Amino acid sequence: MNLELWLSLVVICMLGALSPGPSLALVVRNTISAGLGQGFATAISHGFGVALYAAIAVTGIGLVIVQSPVIFQVVQYAGAAFLVYLAVNALQSSGSKIDLSEKVNKVKVNGWRDGFLIAFLNPKLAIFFLALFSQFVDVNASLQQQLIMIITVGGIDTIWYCLVVFGLSRGPILNKLKSNSHIVDKVTGVVLLLLAVRVVIN
């Protein structure tokens, strides 16, 4: 994978992580209700769950390439179409509807379990990664390139949510994120659209 493609993957992963959703709400809840330790546990295990899905997607696409380049091309164009669908939804979005400031009582939580399960039990992640990685994996992709993609996805997710946990004790980071979520959605939509277009013009 060349630097340009890798940077494109980094940007998409960063925007995906920045967009408020159920995972962010869970990280916030566990941090507020059980402390920074459980917050970091939730963030790290969530990143592991995301990386595991990424590994499954990359391996599956790799097998398709080896067995049938024609089927891979179909998967690639179907993935591009799905990215266009996601882009349109993001561009039409008016921002997050999730209440990130909800007060919770102190309770016992298992951040390692919660973070992993909310990622791994989300079938939309599987579809998203199949669509996304079909735009990046090529016939000559080596194991090293695939590992770079997996580590990039899991690493960015983990780092972002760890920053959220840390930010909860440092300032109004979540309010700023929520108030600007519509901007994140719009930028995400444009980036996904450009990635889908790249398949058509190449």
Q: Is the pLDDT of residue 49 over 60?
A: yes
Runs of H (alpha helix) within the chain: 3-18, 22-34, 36-67, 69-92, 111-120, 123-133, 143-168, 173-179, 181-201
Q: Is the pLDDT of residue 69 over 60?
A: yes
Alpha carbon of residue 90 to chain centroid:
14
Q: Is the pLDDT of residue 116 over 80?
A: yes
Can you give the residue ranges of every domain in the chain? 24-101+108-201
Give, as one character, the DSSP assignment of residue 2.
Answer: -
The pLDDT value given to residue 151: 92
Question: Between 109 and 110, whose confidence is greater?
Answer: 110
The pLDDT value given to residue 48: 94
Q: Is the pLDDT of residue 72 over 80?
A: no
Q: Is the pLDDT of residue 11 over 80?
A: yes
If you write DSSP's letter for every residue of 105-150 in order, what string do you get?
A: ------HHHHHHHHHHT-HHHHHHHHHHHTTT--TT--HHHHHHHH
Res. 139 pLDDT band, cuts 50 70 90: low
The pLDDT value given to residue 59: 80
Residue 8, token pair as written in the block: 């494109």
State mean pLDDT over 33-62: 86
Q: Is the pLDDT of residue 107 over 80?
A: no
Alpha carbon of residue 155 to chain centroid:
10
* CA angle at 123 for the pair 99 and 185, rounded to the nearest 5°: 45
CA dist 127 and 153 (Å) reads 15
Res. 145 pLDDT band, cuts 50 70 90: confident
User: Do 177 and 18 form a contact (C-beta atoms < 8 A)?
Assistant: yes
Q: At what angle do helices 69-92 and 123-133 cross, to 10 degrees?
A: 120
Q: Is the pLDDT of residue 64 over 60?
A: yes
pLDDT digits (tens, 9 = 90+) for 153-190: 999 999 999 998 888 766 666 566 666 667 767 776 77
State mean pLDDT over 96-110: 58
Pick from 50-59, 64-73, 109-118, 141-150: least confident: 64-73
State mean pLDDT over 122-138: 75
Residue 169, token pair as written in the block: 């004790």
